[in-house]
Amino acid sequence: MHKVARKRFNQFMKQRLGHFMVEIDPGPVGPKELILKTAVLGEKSVQEKTNPDYYFMSGYIGMLSWMQILKRYSFNLRTASAIMELGCGSARLIRHLRCIDGIRLVGADVDPDNIAWCQLNVPGIEFNVNDLRPPLLFAEDNSFDLVFAASVFTHIPLETQHVWIEEIYRILRPGGFFLADVLGSYHQRQMLNREDMDCLKKNGQLVLDAGDDRASLSTQLIGSWDVFQTRQEVLRAFGSVFYVHDYLPRGLDLLILQKLSLYGHEGSDKQEQWL
Ligand SMILES: C[S@@+](CC[C@H](N)C(=O)[O-])C[C@H]1O[C@@H](n2cnc3c(N)ncnc32)[C@H](O)[C@@H]1O
């Protein structure tokens, strides 16, 4: 199954990159114990998430869909010089961007085990462990064209969310993009009861910690948090720093954000629709 996804991803990247595309070996699948730490909602999904075919298929499809979205905003993969994934886990996603010739790729995660495995098994990417709070010591101001964080703000408690959003703003170049997803109505239906929903509506936010039996299996295993916010709260948090191009309802709701260029007020009138 993942071979079809790989072909579609490669075709898309070839179209975008032309001779700036290089053939790469996708490398090994992340080990089960690391995947369990990163992406498993409950016991039922353990088998699926740790299946190598699913691992690669979801990696190709995930990266393809985010690259297709960026194309709509004229993000130029050929001229981009640096891309970072925050919360890269076992590099399920960012590993596929090694097909972009000459680009600097950086993966960061708070989990030293995932980063140690990536350093040994996924060449061609700089990997760093970061703290639960910024700064990202390896990242200079204005140094990335794109930062993405897949299922990461879903685990960043609200008291540190704002400092992370500001940190990503700091390291992006003016005009750079930030893609991040958050838990939306799909996961609210899956994980929350009526009382939780009332609480979420009332407070704009709800956090399940690792001790809570409704929390995802990964959260319970690593002592993390599952963070729910209303759409209004998400827009307040991200939109007060970034220009919000779109906020797409999906399995995980996706934010397409941009650090405006120094003189650019591109669509600042449109921003009002979100805030
Ligand atoms: C659900 S996993 C997703 C992993 C990867 N992005 C993927 O899609 O395969 C969330 C990851 O975010 C990491 N994480 C959580 N909070 C973080 C933070 N503040 N900074 C960096 N990584 C973080 C976790 O350690 C974990 O690897």
Which residue among 38, 181, 217 has the greatest number of ligand 1 atoms within 8 angstroms of its CB, and so is best to mutate?
Answer: 38
What atom of ligand 1 comes closest to residue 160's alpha carbon?
A: 19
Decide whether any atom of ligand 1 lies within 6 Å of the 107 Cβ.
Answer: no
Distance (Å, whole) CA 130 – CA 87: 9
CATH number at residue 92: 3.40.50.150
Which residue among 56, 155, 158, 209 has the greatest number of ligand 1 atoms within 8 angstroms of its CB, and so is best to mutate?
Answer: 155
Ramachandran sector of residue 217 (left: φ over 0; alpha: ψ -120 to 50; beta: rest): alpha
Judge whether residue 267 has pLDDT over 90.
Answer: no
Peptide bond connecting 135 to the previous residue in cis, omega within 30 degrees of 0: yes
Highest mean pLDDT among 64-78, 201-215, 217-231: 64-78
Task: Please tell me the total count of domains within the chain.
Answer: 1
Asked if 135 contacts 167 with a C-beta cutoff of 8 angstroms, the reply is: yes
Judge whether residue 275 has pLDDT over 70.
Answer: no
Could you tell me which residue, 263 or 123, shows the higher pLDDT?
A: 123
Q: Which structure tokens are listed for 128? A: 């760093």
Residue 78 domain boundaries: 2-274
pLDDT of residue 133: 96
**pTM for this predicted structure:** 0.94
Decide whether any atom of ligand 1 lies within 6 Å of the 6 Cβ.
Answer: no
Instruction: Please list the residues that pair with 100 across neighbouring strands.
Output: 21
pLDDT of residue 40: 66
Asked if 253 contacts 189 with a C-beta cutoff of 8 angstroms, the reply is: no
pLDDT of residue 270: 57
3-state SS class at 83: strand
> Lowest mean pLDDT: which of 4-18, 197-211, 254-268?
254-268
Could you tell me which residue, 177 or 210, shows the higher pLDDT?
A: 177
pLDDT of residue 70: 98
Judge whether residue 92 has pLDDT over 80.
Answer: yes
Per-residue pLDDT averaged across 68-97, rounded?
Answer: 97
Judge whether residue 42 has pLDDT over 70.
Answer: no
For 62, half-sphere exposure in the C-beta direction (CA atoms, 13 angstrom radius) is 25
For 108, half-sphere exposure in the C-beta direction (CA atoms, 13 angstrom radius) is 22
Query: What are the tens digits of pLDDT across the range 133-190?
Result: 999 999 999 999 999 999 999 999 888 999 999 999 999 999 999 999 999 999 999 8
Q: Which structure tokens are listed for 202? A: 């009332």
* Å from CA of 88 to ligand 1 middle: 6
Per-residue pLDDT averaged across 112-116, rounded?
Answer: 96
pLDDT of residue 158: 85
3-state SS class at 85: strand
pLDDT of residue 50: 82
* Å from CA of 269 to ligand 1 middle: 33
Measure Cα distances from 183 to 32, 214, 231 in Å: 24, 14, 10
